[in-house]
Structure formats: structure tokens, C-alpha cells
Structure 1
């Protein structure tokens, strides 16, 4: 039995005991009072009758007439007159059953009264003795009326007491429920502080719980800060703060090979005569020069959420930009900004050269680097600040207008030219955890199936991602229904869908229609988009968790410093970005970062999965670091061996 019910039971029992005791005490007191009053009345009436008879010359006939007259008034149960020897002179006895109260009440609370007696005299001689008992029906009637009124009054008091008790329990129940929810949140590794209740005992408990949460959160944030430093040391240049060569190459490969790749622009930047600047100005000033150039180059990449700037070696830098950026124009503007920032250091000499090249999803990394490097060499050969663009491969382009894209996407949705493809995600034991199922579109019945990276950027600009996400979830639910042995199926949702107020209700209605499939439905969103729409994403996560779905983040790790914001989302898993996974067997810095990431994530109840695993060596290292599973071309599903009997 809950404490709340126990308190209610205690209040009800206490009130019943108090009210019942009060009623019983009142009835006994009233009965005693009525009994004593009845006894006094008997004595007074008997005395009055005897005195009346004694004033004359009493005889048997006169006495009988007086007794009969008095008895006929209906106020007496018994009037008896006897002579001094005890011989009966006159007697009248009434029916005691005629009461002004229920028989059970009279039986339960009998009123006892002493009969009244008095001596009748005839002159100086004793004539006889009168014994008189007044009728008790009036006393029972008065007692019954008192009991009835007392029960009504006490019932009203009970109702008022119950209402006041409910108010008091309500004031206790709210803070108590808040403290209980806080305790549950701690067991779920969520750090939630509560307002201090006014109830002193609960206030002390809340203070202790808030202090515990504060210490846990501080420990969590301290560990996260330490790992953030490890991540930066492993992946960023200590002087400029830009990405180092290995991390940049991993991000470049991801931008080319990822399922949702949209292509992009690669810029390679070379500072002119860095050795001469170092010789002329000294190491400290040269470091200042590199920092200034790093900040200028980083400003270009920061204009896009997916942009990356890196220092490849001493004088060489690189920038990775999304496909929608006009690479050559950005390069020209960057060169102007660099020349302006470098003026105090180069003394009118050449500042830098830039090579620019566009690439499409699935391009060859080696060929891309070679083409951009040739463009850079061409710019350097010019002898002055310059920007050169590598020859673009026209076959990689899809020159369509936004209106054409809109028409084709809507047409594909209308004709159901959509499907999901499947990639396995295995757990640490090598068994299938779930399947990742990205969406594909086809623009005509005999066309090619386009990956998300080809149509998703345009769909985001056209506000069509909610329709695409809902179609993907519907297809996923169909797949789960047709494959009851499938342990799970993951659908990626676009962060831009959260901007549509109708998206979440439609999504929840779609899931509610097949709620038995919800526990096997995994829904995930890219880290950057989720953090950009954090409040809307939090509301969506809670609704999906209530429906039984699993929720997670993909491409995780680039905003690791914000992991403290994830503890209250109710997430189930994280998929770590492939740029941290690539080559982890030979990158001790990333290995240390990923090991700490797994530890922190596990401490807040999250599964940790790796994206883009390309080899068995990477997989083995990741599992040793604490990963719960992985996906990518390097994963393998181990066959299930039947148990022997």
C-alpha cells in the first residue's frame, strides 16, 4: 500500500475513532442526564401525589379514583399504592413498548430511572405508600433526537475534516512526488534539481537530493571537460586550434562516402614564404602569424555548420565546405581577408595561394586531392596571390532548378517511388542489433535510386523533409510488421522537420496506429541538428519514449562539450561519427577519447555504437574500448550456432 493511501487510511480511522468516541460519550452523558432527571421527576411526582392524598381523608375508593385519573394522562408507566403492611390498594401499569425511538436504540442505550416513593398519611397515622414511575418514551425520544442531531453534526465535521485532510495531503503529495521523480531520474542517470518544498522534512530531503545531483553533475561535467581536452589534443592543431591532418582527412572521407553525403568543396591553402617570415621575424611572431591565418581560415568554415578548417602541415591549410557554397567565390574572398590580416607580417610580399575543387558523393579521394593540388600548384606558379579552380567533372552534377527538384520530389512521393535500403548494425557479440534503413527516391519508373544526400539538401530548403520522414517511418513500420524476427529498424529523421508544428502529432499518430511495433523502431537524428533544435528535440524524445520507441543521435562527437545537455533527453543510444572511428587502431589520442566517451555514455545509460567501421582491426579496437556495437563495411554478423542437447 502506498504511503499516500496509508496516510489517508490513518486520517479516516482517526476521524472515525474521534467522531465515534465523541458520539458515544455524548450519548452516555445524555442518557445519564435523562435517567437522573427521570428519577427526580418520579420522586417529585410521587411526593406531590402523596401530599395531595394526605390533605384529605384518604380511603381506598378515593385513592383508586385519583390514581386512575392521574394514570390516564399518559405520562406514567406505573402508579401503585399499598398499605403499611404491603397490601395493594390501587395499581395502574402502562405498556412500556410504546417508545418515541426505535426498539434497537432503546435496547442499545437503556435509560434506567429510580421509581419515586412517598408516604400517604391520614392524620397522624400512615395510610400507605405510593410508588410512581414516569413514562420513559419522552426520554428515549429526546435521546434519539439528540443522537440524530449529533450524527449529522459529526458527519458534517467529518466531511470538513476530510476536505482539510485532503488539502494537507495534497500539499504533501506534490513535493513528495517531485522528490520521488528526482530519485527516479537519478537512477536513470538524469541530473534534475527541484524547487525546495515548504514541508520542513521534505525540504531537508530535497536539499540533500539537490546536493547529490549537483555533485553528480559536477563530476559528470568534469569528466566531460577532461575528455573534450583529449578530443582536441587528438584531432586539433595545438597552435591554431584547427583540425589536424588526420582528422581532416577522416572528415573528408566521411563527406565523400557517407550515405547522406551531398558532396562539397575542398580548398587547399598554402602560405607563401613561411620560412622567410620565420627567419625575419622570429618564432614567436611567426606563431602569431599562423594564429592570425588560422582564425581567418576558420572564419570561412564557420559560416556553415558542416564546414571544417584544418592545418595540414607547417604552411598548408585546408577547408571543407558544403556543396551549396560557391567555392571559387569563397576562395577569392578568403584570399582578400588573408592578405588584409597578413599585412603586418609579410610587408607587401605575396601572402598565399588557394586551390579549389568541387566533389560529388562517392568521388575518389586520391583523385580529388590530386586535382586540387594541381590547382594550388598552378596558383603558386603565378608568383602572386592567386586562386585557381580545379576542372569539375560535369558528370557529377545534376543541373536542376529548385522548382524542378520540388516537382520531382513531390512526384516521387505521390507515386510511391520510395524505398528503404538496409545496413546491418551488430552488437558486441556479433549478432544483429538492428538495421539502419536510409531512404531512397526515384524520379521516374526506370530511373536510378538516389541516396538521401542527393535530394535532402533541396528538400530541406523546400520544407519537404516532414513528408519524407513520415514516408520513411511508414515504410519502416511496414518492414517491421512483415519481418517479426527483425530485432530493430532505425530511421533517420531530419532536424528541419522539427520546425513543422504538425510533424510530431502526425508522427505519433502513425506510430500509435501500430503501437505493438514501437519497441523495435529506432529513431535517430544528427547531433548538430538535434542540438540546434534542442527544446523541440527534447519534446519529441519524451513523446517517442512514452510510445515505446528508441531514440538516439547519429554522427555524434563533434559537439562533445555539450554532452551535459543530453542527460535529460531520455536517449537510448549514440552513434559516434566515423571521423573518430577511422584508423582508431593507430590513433592513441582518439582511442583515449572514445574510451572516455563510452564510460560517460554508459554512466548515463546510453548504448554507444560506431559508424563507418571499415576493417576488422577498427572493430576489434572499438569493442575493446567499450563500444556496444558498430555499423559499416567492416562489420560482420556472426552465424548463430544451435545449442547442443
Structure 2
């Protein structure tokens, strides 16, 4: 809120360019007005002087004429002279007065028809100058001539000059302002670029640089800003690299890049055992018999090279099974958890992996009589079940592995662990397609709680599908929906229902998570975008989670999708953060508002110092970029208390609030 209020105040503040334009424009205006007033006043005085001089000259000329050239006692001659002078229309009064004050001859007219506005006449207020001259005959005084000047021409001249002064001042002022506007624009371009750069830094985007050159002072500012941006980017890159390194040390096997033993067990506990995250699946253990002999005969470097190739096979297997994850146990023993399908399906997939691993072993050690040592790959599969612990799950898979080893040949055995029997892969395809065709989807929601334990930041929605008259949680069917390419249809239905909820409850804040492959499925991103755009202002109350796996496998498509979603006003977060196994530096290229830590990092964090240090460091970097950090899967008070101490912004979990249904089950699903 503080950041938003500062932003609002900054947008209301006057810009430097506007301030300079106002100041300089006002100065130019004042100078032009002063110049116009001085010029107008000077011309006004000049006109008055000309009018007075003309009047005096006329009176003198008439007086001389009557004194010398014309008999002043001849009334007709005097009248003719006065008429000829008066007809020039330059005088209001022309008359000859005798020594008794009687008008011998004269003409007069009123002041009218000036061809200028009346207000200008009142404003200019020109005088009516009067000139007199004596009429003499010899030494005898006969009278005097009286002439009053007509200011009409003076008014017209003054009006024309005034118009010209105003017009020229306006034109000059407009040109000056325009030139000043362009000049300031060119001079301040680096400053605007620096402003955008500073704004980008405020959003923790260190990619912008200012290359525009201007005055020496501004060039120094742009250079300093670029240098600071470079330093901040290097600092962030160093922090991100450190965090990535810490993550690898704590969670990855340094040789193969697979999850370490502890990290795999931690995630398996969350995925297969905990109440909130539990879902059906199968554990696959594989082991290369004879690896110790190969290591002794071929040498450590060759053995390590073979392990790297084996790990690549495991990586490819995981990539082909949505939601799966793998880890290295010890030596040439690997573990893979496959969520979703029945153990029988997992056994089929396990045989495929065992065959791929066997091919790598043959490539390195040879085959038959030419083999350096005999390397045989075996596998064991065990399914999860209600009340089955991680230890029991490993024991069942290990028993199946030992049984496969007794057969001698490379194969994958299935444990008889008494686990629940799940639907097979094809059964899941049929059931999911049927549920989606009927739109038999029911939304449940769980609160995202702030650290004050009272504020609900938003409500995370989850989907449940009606499968064989039972509402099944998303944990159960989502991996199979990903496998069969149905996750896009599921996401479209969830987005539709979530937006409907926002329309029905104007005060609601809703969050949803998309599938990892939805960003690349045909037409799915476009349809989701269109739905969110059509929501208008409701989109601002929507949080959309993009799984980190999507950024791992579909980096370009996911980034483009996120940029387009941001234009709709929706808030974006990276979901299941930490399990994607990608560099933390991707944050600098994404316009996201939050990260959500995967529950595998949260489970037992009060007892795991390595995970706590990793999350604390990551939260510091995220907050430094203005990104909030949420957590998922908080199940105990001690976990929640620990997360608070390391700076988390909010979390979901059974300890903070269990999922609750949104309304009654849909009618379309109830008929199923």
C-alpha cells in the first residue's frame, strides 16, 4: 500500500519539462506583453503628437492665408477657404471668429464613424487637440482661426498597429514556446529514459540501459544510473547463483543432477504420506548389479560417465511422466515416484526404464564374452496406499527389486504390498474424458492466510471431478490429465468457474493454478487469455499460478503467456517453486507478483536447517525484487512459526484452513 500511495503521489507531481515550459513560457509571455505595452504606448504618444502638430499647422496655415492672401473681411472668400480645409475630414471644427467672439464662418462635425470598436476608443482615449492662429491686416487685429483636430485617422492607425502588435506577439510567443518545447524534449530525453530506468529498477528489472546523450550534466547522470544498474544486476545474479548453488548442495546429487537421497525422501513423504498432499502413485527402484566391479576395473572416471548417462535416461523418463520425480540413492541405484496410474501400469513403464538403463550399461561395459564385467539392471515397483509409510513403501519396492535380481536377467518386478488398487491408465483416460464432457467439476477453496493469522489474502481454488459417483481430488487425477493431454480442458473449466465466482461475489479474491503443459497445448493459452480479458475489472481480483515445471520445459511459451496475462490485470505467481530444478535468475525476466514454495520444502522445515536457510535466502532476494513469497502445505504450528521468522508473506495448509466446497455440487455432475 505504501508503494502504491507513493506511485500515486509521483504521478500527480508536475514534471520538470512542464515546470520549465510554464516558467519559460510565462517569462516569454511577460516579455512580449511588456514589449507590446511599451510599443503601443510609444505609438500612442507619437499619434497624439502628430495629431496636435497637424492641428496647429492647419490653424497657422489658415491664419496666414486669411491675413495675407485672402481678404478676411470677405465672408464668401473666408467660407470657401474654410470649406476646402474642412472637406479633408481631418478636423472636427474649423472656424473664423472676429474680435467680438462672433463666428464669421466655420464648419463642424461630430466624432463618429471611426471604424474601430467602441471599447478601443474608450481604451485609447485620444485627445482632441485645438489650434488657434490670429488673423491680422496690417497692424489691425481682425480675429482668430480655431481648429479642432479629428482623431479618427489616429484611432484607425492605432487600431491597426495594436492588432499587428498582438498578432506578432502571439505568433512570436507560439514559435518560441514550440521551439522551447522541442528543445526541452531533446535535452530532457535522457532524463525521461533515466526515469523509466529508475522505475524499472523499482520493479527490480535491471535490463534497461540509457544510451541517449545530451548535456554534460545529464550524461553524467545517465552514466551513473547505468553503472548502478549494472552493479545491481551483478549483485542479483551473484545472489541468485548462490541460492542455486545452495539448492544444488542441499537437494541435488552433484554428479547426476537428480534429487539427493534426503530431498527425494522429503518430497516423497509429502506426495505419498502427508494428509494434505497424499495421492496414489507407485515407487520404482532400479539398481545396476555389478556396478562396484565395473568401478574397480574401468576406473572412477568411466564409472562416473556411465552414471551420468544412466541419470539422463532417468531424466527423460521423468519428463515423459507428468508429476514424476527421481533421485539417486547410492551407487547405481535410482528411485522414481510416478503419481497417478495403477502399480501394474507403473511396472510396464518401469520395464521401459530398465531396458533403457540396460542399453547404457551394455554401451559402457560391453556384452557377452567381450564384456568387461556383467552389468544387469533390475527394477522393483510398489504402490502407495492408505496408512503406508515411506519406509514401508521403500521396503516393498526393495523386496520386489530383490525378487527381480534372483531371476538373473534384467527385468522389473511388482511388489505385493497390499496397496490400494488404482485405476489403470486407460481407465483414467475414459473416466476423465467422461467427467470433462459432462463438466462434472466442483470447486473447493482454501484460504491463503497472511502472517497476522487474520487476513485472508485470497482463496485458492481446487477442482474435484465426479469419477464413478465419487468426487475425486485433483491430486489424484491431475497427473493422468497431464499425461493424456486433458489438463487444458480441465484448466479451461476451472478458469470459467473461478471467473463466475468473481462475478457472483464482488469482494472475493480467488487464486487458481494451471497445469504445466497448458501453456503449450493448442489453443488453450489463447482461450484462457480471452476468458480472463472478457472478465474486465474482475481479473484484478484473480491470482493465476504457473507451475515452475512449465518454466523449466516450456520457457519461451510460459514467459510469453505470463506477459499477456499481466496485461489483463490479473496477478501472477510461480507455483510449486523449488521443484522445477531451474536457475533462480529467471525471475528477472518475468513480471510476476509472487512465488509459492512447494510443500516438499515446507514439510518439517522447523527441523531442517538446510531448507530453512535456503528459503530464507530466497525470500530475501524475492523481496528485494518486490516479489512476495507464499508457502503451501503448512500442517503444524511449528512449521508456520518457522516460516514467519524467515519472512514469508502468507501460506496455505491444513493448519491454517482446510479446503471447503464452493456451494453445492454442480447439477451436471450430480447426474453422473
TM-score range, shorter chain: 0.7 to 0.9
C-alpha contact (below 8 Å) 1:268/1:373 kept by paired residues: no
Q: Which moved more, 1:191-200 or 1:502-511?
A: 191-200
Alpha-carbon distance change, 630 to 50 in structure 1, aligned in 2, over 3 angstroms: closer
| Matched residue, 1:55 | 69
Among 379, 401, 408, the alignment partner of 1:376 is 401
- Shift in Å, 1:592: 1.8
Alpha-carbon distance change, 194 to 86 in structure 1, aligned in 2, over 3 angstroms: farther
| Matched residue, 2:443 | 420
Q: Does residue 387 of the first structure (1) align with residue 411 of the second (2)?
A: yes
Q: Which moved more, 1:214-223 or 1:162-171?
A: 162-171
| Matched residue, 2:527 | 502
TM-score (norm 1): 0.81
Among 358, 373, 384, the alignment partner of 1:335 is 358
Alpha-carbon distance change, 340 to 234 in structure 1, aligned in 2, over 3 angstroms: same
Q: Does residue 74 of the first structure (1) align with residue 86 of the second (2)?
A: no
Alpha-carbon distance change, 175 to 449 in structure 1, aligned in 2, over 3 angstroms: farther
| Matched residue, 1:543 | 567
Structure 1 runs not aligned, ≥5 long? 638-645
Q: Residue 156 of structure 2 aligns to a residue in which SS?
A: helix
Distance 1:180 1:85 in 2: 89
Q: Does residue 591 of the first structure (1) align with residue 612 of the second (2)?
A: yes
| Matched residue, 2:471 | 449
Q: Does residue 580 of the first structure (1) align with residue 601 of the second (2)?
A: yes
Say how many residue pairs are matched. 617
- Shift in Å, 1:566: 2.1
C-alpha contact (below 8 Å) 1:613/1:619 kept by paired residues: yes
Alpha-carbon distance change, 106 to 625 in structure 1, aligned in 2, over 3 angstroms: closer
Q: Residue 372 of structure 2 aligns to a residue in which SS?
A: coil
In angstroms, what is the RMSD of aligned CA positions?
Answer: 4.0
TM-score (norm 2): 0.78
Distance 1:85 1:555 in 2: 120
Structure 2 runs not aligned, ≥5 long? 1-12, 659-672
| Matched residue, 2:253 | 237
Alpha-carbon distance change, 16 to 560 in structure 1, aligned in 2, over 3 angstroms: farther
1:32-53 deviation line (CA, Å, top 9, x unaligned):
3433433443344344434433
Q: Residue 554 of structure 1 aligns to a residue in which SS?
A: strand
Distance 1:190 1:262 in 2: 42
Alpha-carbon distance change, 412 to 509 in structure 1, aligned in 2, over 3 angstroms: same
1:201-600 matches, within 5 Å, as: 204-256=220-272, 263=281, 266-274=284-292, 276-277=293-294, 285-286=299-300, 288-303=301-316, 304-305=318-319, 308-320=325-337, 326-342=349-365, 348-357=372-381, 359=383, 364=388, 365-383=390-408, 386-391=410-415, 395-400=421-426, 404=430, 407-413=433-439, 417-431=440-454, 433=456, 434-443=458-467, 447-457=469-479, 459-460=481-482, 465-476=487-498, 488-499=509-520, 500-510=525-535, 512=537, 514=538, 518-519=540-541, 521-530=542-551, 532=555, 533-543=557-567, 546=569, 549-559=570-580, 562-567=583-588, 569-600=590-621
- Shift in Å, 1:89: 5.8
- Shift in Å, 1:145: 2.7
Q: Which moved more, 1:363-372 or 1:219-228?
A: 363-372
Alpha-carbon distance change, 307 to 290 in structure 1, aligned in 2, over 3 angstroms: farther
Alpha-carbon distance change, 470 to 64 in structure 1, aligned in 2, over 3 angstroms: same
Alpha-carbon distance change, 362 to 165 in structure 1, aligned in 2, over 3 angstroms: farther
C-alpha contact (below 8 Å) 1:256/1:363 kept by paired residues: no
Alpha-carbon distance change, 6 to 310 in structure 1, aligned in 2, over 3 angstroms: same
- Shift in Å, 1:341: 2.7
Distance 2:476 2:393 in 1: 19
C-alpha contact (below 8 Å) 1:60/1:89 kept by paired residues: no
1:113-158 deviation line (CA, Å, top 9, x unaligned):
8655556554687766544343211121222133234434444455
Distance 1:155 1:360 in 2: 87
Distance 1:330 1:28 in 2: 102
| Matched residue, 2:3 | none
Alpha-carbon distance change, 443 to 590 in structure 1, aligned in 2, over 3 angstroms: closer
Alpha-carbon distance change, 278 to 586 in structure 1, aligned in 2, over 3 angstroms: farther
Distance 2:432 2:628 in 1: 38
